[in-house]
Structure 1
Amino acid sequence: MPYRESTMIPPKSSGKWRDLVTGKRQLPTDHLGLQLFLKRVSTKLKPTSPAQEIEDAIGELHAFFVKYERILQKELVQISK
């Protein structure tokens, strides 16, 4: 299946992803995989972390949402606010 960018998923360049991976913004979720991912990166990264580390985490999180878009609709609505 070819890669496609969803219109529901904000682009990687959106500051919303940075806020999530650095722990600046919380995202309530019942999805265990997402909870674990966010906990891992938010304890490891801070807004002052090296830019490349933050960009790598943003890429991982964005890819996670692209892969599991169908089951993360509730979370995508929250991110889009």
Structure 2
Amino acid sequence: MTVPGPNHPCWQRLAGGTLSRLKTQHLGTQLMTKRIERSTDPISVKAGELHAYFARWERALPNEVQQLATL
């Protein structure tokens, strides 16, 4: 499974509040999600950061990447 493109609506949904539903055992991802949830940045900035993170760690996070389009 590949990471959805940067314009996919899943990034806006995740940045807007559904990120807490992501199931992960990866500590780095858990920390990143908490930081994004607490951030006061605009949703578009958060969405871009989420896409960059998952694009970079795509091969290490196959279970998480699989969940992205369904959240």
Q: In 1, Cα distance between the equivalents of 2:35 and 2:60?
A: 21
Highest Rg: 1 or 2? 1
Corresponding residue of 2:68: 79
The TM-score normalised by the length of structure 1 is 0.70
Is the helix fraction higher in 1 or 2?
2
> RMSD of the TM alignment (CA)?
1.9
Tell me the matched-pair count.
69
Counterpart of 2:44 in 1: which secondary structure?
Answer: helix
Q: Which residue of 1 aligns with 2:28?
A: 33
Q: SS in structure 2 opposite 1:71?
A: coil
Q: TM-score, normalised by structure 2?
A: 0.78
Letter in 2 for 1:28: K
Larger displacement relative to structure 2 (65-74 or 35-44): 35-44
**Bigger Cα displacement from structure 2, 14-23 vs 58-67:** 14-23
Write the distance in 1 (CA, Å) between the matches of 2:60 and 2:17: 22
User: What are structure 2's unaligned runs of at least 5 residues?
Assistant: none
CA contact (8 A) 1:23 1:42 kept: yes
Identity %: 36
Q: In the alignment, is the contact (CA less than 8 A) between 1:29 and 1:75 conserved in 2?
A: yes
SS at match of 2:18: coil
C-alpha distance in structure 1 between counterparts of 2:56 and 2:48, whole Å = 12
Q: Secondary structure of 1:21's match?
A: helix
